[in-house]
Structure 1
Amino acid sequence: MPRRAGAEVRSLGRRDDEARELMDAPDCDPAMLARTYEQFGRVNAVVSNQRAVYRRWIRPRLSRHETRRVLDVGTGGADVPRALLRWARADGLRLEVVALDPDPRSYEWASRRPPVPGLVLRRTTSGELAAAGERFEVVTSNHVLHHLDGRQTGELLADSERLALGGGIAVHGDIGRSRWGYLGFALGTLPFTRNLLADSYIRADGLTSIRRSHTAPELAAVLPPGWRVRRGFPSRLEVVWSPDA
């Protein structure tokens, strides 16, 4: 293992909240950013286990007769909403997913993709939707929490409670920081750096994301009342607010 990678693995005992992902830089390479959005679907299918989120939290709240609404916060390229809609259609369930992201780059990229029935793209924030009185059966996000500082996390959780009022739930999934998770991602992506993952930020930013992410005890210590942490697979955490959580 290269010396730098070994040092990073040893440093995972503490969250590195000063590390910055390359794709978050306003002057990042637009072609590499587009390639990264393009690859999110494949990567999330492996590391995010969104199918489990759909089965446990979303599918039980859907109906064959009434359209139910899900909000995906920080949607990026909107690959997760598209997957949710695909699974709901296969199950014969009616679903609308509002895919929210304030970043104009991700909004514009997602807007250029072929439209999907039930997918609504919004360039706004969870706070603006909550202030407008929007309501959803499920409020969710994927790999957003590790981007936020403490104040921003508190605001997102407070917005989620307002947006899910009336029996809804909120589930924010993120990486669980661990040495095994870091090594697994580092080694698992290494063979693809010159082909599938070439000219993108996936590998570098993925490793940075793990260093920025939390452990379950770290998150549990800062969550407001009514929220709890669940462990998921692989190296996943779910921050949940629900009447029956």
Structure 2
Amino acid sequence: MPRRLTPERMDAPDVPRDELDGALTFLRQVNARLGGSALLLRSLSRWSRNWPTDRPVTLLDIATGSADIPVAARRWAIAKGFDLRVTGIDAHETTLTLAREHVQHELGRDTDAITLHRADARQLIEVFGPQSFDYVHAGLFLHHLPDIEVLTVLRIMERLARRGIIWSDLWRSPFTALGVRLVSMRAPDIVKHDGRVSVQAGFTLKEVRDIRQRLSLSWCALRCHPTVGRFTLAGQRQGAWKL
């Protein structure tokens, strides 16, 4: 079956704050158990062998949600001796408010390392300009978009990134659908609904390969992670840190 796009309740501008907060809290807990940030950190870990230690490395996180990915990336970098500065963007104002509260709670005095902005992913070149970040990451976001906008945002990611890009999203399969149903059995109703429609909007590996070919992203490797129902398309440009 082709991708099926259905509006997600968490994206509604009038979603009640307490309902959104409960959903984001549940998703943070799930991501912590299932390694939601691990897919990004695996790529960063491989690439960090050539990172400088005398200046910051920059990362843009598109559709940051509650900013659990920026927090995890910052903590990982500190443990490895790197100064990773993360910019998170999201189009939903209430989500950003909750994200700022989460960053403050988790990082305290280190909150300056994470900057959060309200922005539309399809207009980021106008907001930041080409090659504004070392790395650009989009996790569990592009499945919200129709095919043509998926291509648009990936091209924008490539233009924004000096060194590399990471796209992590849902692998559309019966296995993933079953996994999401099991994980969300005790979830808030909004999560149950959005989880189901998210899988329907996910991508098959063939679709991702086709996207990679259309955008000439042969330098990005596709990996499937079936135990968590996700895939990554990630790559660092050859000689990235010689630029």
Normalised by the shorter chain, which TM-score bucket?
A: 0.7 to 0.9
Q: Residue 128 of structure 1: CA displacement?
A: 4.4
Between 228-237 and 93-102, report the one with greater CA deviation: 228-237
Is 1:146 equivalent to 2:152 in the alignment? no
1:236 corresponds to 2:230: yes
Rounded Cα–Cα distance in structure 2 between residues aligned with 1:211 and 1:128? 26
CA contact (8 A) 2:132 2:160 kept: yes
1:202 alignment partner in structure 2:
191
Q: Which residue does the alignment assign to 2:169?
A: 174
Tell me how far apart the structure 1 counterparts of residues 33 and 202 of structure 2 sit (CA, whole Å).
18
Asked if residue 159 in structure 1 is aligned to residue 156 in structure 2, the reply is: yes
Task: Determine if contact 1:161/1:241 at 8 Å carries over to the other structure.
Answer: no
- 1:210 aligned partner, one-letter code: V
Deviation at 1:186, TM superposition (A): 1.0
Q: Distance in 2 between matches of 1:52 and 1:222?
A: 20
Matches within 5 A, 1:69-88: 69-88=58-77
Displacement of 1:208: 1.6
Aligned-residue offset at 1:171: 0.7
1:126–1:160 contact (8 Å) kept in structure 2: no
Taking structure 1 as the reference length, the TM-score comes to 0.81
> Offset at 1:202?
2.1
Contact 2:63–2:121, Cα closer than 8 Å, also in 1: no
Shift of the 58–138 alpha-carbon distance from structure 1 to 2, 3 Å rule, reads: farther
The reply to whether residue 225 of structure 1 matches residue 220 of structure 2 is no
Distance of aligned partners of 1:212 and 1:47 in 2 relative to their CA distance in 1, 3 Å threshold: farther
Q: 1:177 to 1:98 in 2, by over 3 A?
A: same
Aligned residues: 223
More helix by share: 2
Aligned to 1:14: 2
Alpha carbons 1:48, 1:236 under 8 Å: kept: no
- 1:69 is displaced (CA, Å) by 0.3
Give the superposition deviation at 1:84.
Answer: 0.7
Residues 179-200 of structure 1: CA distance to partner in whole angstroms, max 9, x if unpaired? 111112212332xx2xxx34x6
Against the structure 1 CA distance between its residues 49 and 37, is the aligned structure 2 distance closer, same or farther, given a 3 Å change threshold?
Answer: closer
**Unpaired runs of at least 5, structure 2:** 239-243
Could you say which residue in structure 1 is the equivalent of 2:57?
68
Structure 2: distance between partners of 1:96 and 1:32: 30
Offset, 1:99: 0.5
1:209 is aligned with what amino acid? S
Give the equivalent residue in structure 2 for 1:103.
92
Q: Is the 8 A contact 1:40 1:77 kept in 2?
A: no
Deviation at 1:212, TM superposition (A): 1.1
Q: Deviations over 1:184-233 (max 9, x none)?
A: 2212332xx2xxx34x6223211221111111101222331125533234
Give the Cα separation in 2 of the matches to 1:20 and 1:56.
31
